[in-house]
A = this chain, B = another copy of it.
């Protein structure tokens, strides 16, 4: 299967998973940086391969086969991120970018070797869970976004859901990092802004950030 197909299936999986918007060709196209017609074409092609269900004007839905493919790619991505993060002094954003390419050129054998080497980690450096070789995610996710966090409570950062460089740079500068602890000092105006205390810093985060930082209550 081609890189284009793997990326398409992965995009549906990610979109679907986090339910940000409905999973129609146009949305997937935007995520992949291709045109809508290209996405519609691809959707039809993948339906013929039994990777997804396609009906005109309806949301795309992965079949079991499609989900398995997506999880296999996601596994490789997160294993690469884990390995590169451990070995090299590279930013989370750089690591993400490298993993985005390597994930498609990695045999199941190599993925297993990487997993073994790392002691079969359950989470990657962003806090995202790593599926096992069978495509199963064995950890249950109880995290919520910072926007939904409560004033006064203390949380552990569970995930940084982004691939934007500026976001990661900001996080790095402010100690916002997987497994770090923070306290919500104040929620403003319908929780569109959140003030947190983290380490020795106090920061106010806007909606863009409070919706992609996931936390677990301590």
Contact = CB atoms under 8 A, between A and B. Distances in A.
Contacts of A89: 113
Interface string A109-121: 1100110010000
Count of this chain's copies in the oligomeric assembly: 2
A110 to B, nearest CB: 5
Interface in A60-108: 84, 87-90, 94, 97-98, 101-102, 104-107
Which one of A84, A90, A110 has the greatest number of beta carbons of chain B within 10 Å? Answer: A110
Contacts of A105: 101-102, 104-105
B113 A90 contact: yes
A154 B45 CA distance: 61
Interface of A: 84, 87-90, 94, 97-98, 101-102, 104-107, 109-110, 113-114, 117
